[in-house]
Amino acid sequence: MLASESAGWLHSWLLGQPAWLLWMLCVAGIGTLVYGADKTVNSAVKLSRRLGMSTVLIGATVVSLGTTMPEMFTSVTAAFRGESGLALGNGVGSIICDTALIFGLCCLLTRLPMDRFVLNRHGWLQLGSGVLLAGVCGVLALLSGRLGTPGTENPGDWNVIPQWIGVVFILLLVGYLYLSVRWARQRPDLAAEAVEEAQGSGQGAAAARPAGSAVATAIVLVAGLALIALGSNVLIPAVKVLAEEHYHVPKDFLAVTLVALGTSLPELVTAIAAIVRGHKGLLVGNIIGADILNVLFVVGLSLCATDLEVPPTFYLLHLPVMLVVLGLLRLYIFISGPKGFSRWMGLPLLAVYAAYYVLLATFAGHLVGK
């Protein structure tokens, strides 16, 4: 209740502020999200290593959970405030950004490794999660007879995903985490990779089991999560006021541009750090894990908060593009050899990403029926 009243007060105060101040608050909010996510990931990795977890489990669960925290907080906050397009668009937009922009760019910069044991399992779950979300939207719309003419003024003419679907997504999330642990145990050789990677990066074997107490590391983890929550509660009201009062931009357009790109910065920073430090496998695992969690975790928790209305642009643009980039990555996994992903594979993903934003900027306003 106090959080709701505080959010209402902040929104009322923002209504009278100039655009430049709102942009500064957006930057500050995104910066807080990124910094908090970075602290969350670092402390979670240290805690996991102290507990003897394998590196594959860290990449598939802990790191991905940490880097998707901004999307989760942003989408759930938007869902509680009735911003369905923002809540759903942030999750879908982050998948497109993570896969097409971040993976595509990193693939173009360097040859990324191929671990078929992981990719033949998590990779199918990645594609399946995207197909599941698109399928739920399409099936419910067809069953309810609400897939009408694009540009309709009546929100009731479009699909509304019920809350119980969110419960199903969360149950699937639990199943995914269970499978990740089970698969990690089937790869005992990966438990020693942390030592080898630490030695290869010049940090020494001790880096695989960091110094310091688990309690202190857990405190840093909680502090990082608090920073993520703070950044989300500043970013969402500022974006809403900018969209409605200054630029009259559709909410779902902002969700898949400013907010989705901003909350995907942890994945981008993690990817760059993984390349620099020689942990390229962690980069691939983080992107795939983040895509899965953006559906089951981000959209799932948002649906648990409230029903989510699916705007027309999702059927006509966002969901199809999401399926295209996920399908491309699945194709790359199928055709890639033991040497890993070829660098040219980044070009089609980046081309799709560029075309997506051209279409978004050109047609978004008309598709929403302004």
Q: Using CA atoms in the order 187, 188, 190, 195, what is the torsion angle rounded to 10 degrees?
A: 180
Burial of residue 343, with CB atoms counted within 10 A of its CB: 0-12 exposed, 13-18 middle, 19 or more buried: middle
Question: Which 8-state DSSP code applies to residue 42?
Answer: H
**pTM score, whole prediction:** 0.76
**From CA 91, how far away is CA 88, in angstroms rounded?**
5
Contact 64, 286 (CB under 8 A): yes
Q: HSE of 353 in the Cβ direction (CA atoms, 13 Å)?
A: 22
Burial of residue 363, with CB atoms counted within 10 A of its CB: 0-12 exposed, 13-18 middle, 19 or more buried: middle
At residue 10, the pLDDT reads: 74
At residue 352, the pLDDT reads: 96
The neighbouring-strand residues paired with 340 are 337
Residue 158 sits at φ, ψ, to 5 deg, of -120, 160
358: which 2 tokens? 């051209």
Q: Domains, the chain, ranges and CATH?
A: 18-362 (1.20.1420.30)
At residue 229, the pLDDT reads: 72
Q: Which of 313, 318, 333 is nearest to 123 (CA)?
A: 333
181: which 2 tokens? 């642990």
199: which 2 tokens? 């030695």
Residue 341 three-state SS: strand
113: which 2 tokens? 């490794």
Helix-then-strand count for the chain, H and E:
19, 2
What is the distance in angstroms between the CA of the first residue and the CA of the last residue of the chain?
Answer: 33
Residue 53 sits at φ, ψ, to 5 deg, of -75, 150
From first to last of its 370 residues, the chain has per-residue pLDDT tens of 334 445 557 767 888 888 889 889 988 988 887 788 777 767 766 776 776 665 556 666 777 887 787 788 888 888 888 888 888 888 998 899 999 999 999 999 999 988 787 788 888 999 999 999 999 998 887 876 655 544 444 444 457 899 999 999 999 999 998 988 787 777 655 545 555 544 544 455 455 555 567 788 778 877 887 887 788 778 877 877 887 778 777 766 665 566 556 667 677 777 777 777 677 777 888 899 999 999 999 999 999 998 988 888 888 899 999 999 999 999 999 998 888 899 999 999 999 999 998 887 776 555 444 3
Could you tell me if residue 213 is left (phi over 0), alpha (psi between -120 and 50 degrees) or otherwise beta? beta
**From CA 369, how far away is CA 364, in angstroms rounded?**
9
**Integer angstrom CA distances of residue 242 from 33, 157, 270:** 19, 27, 29
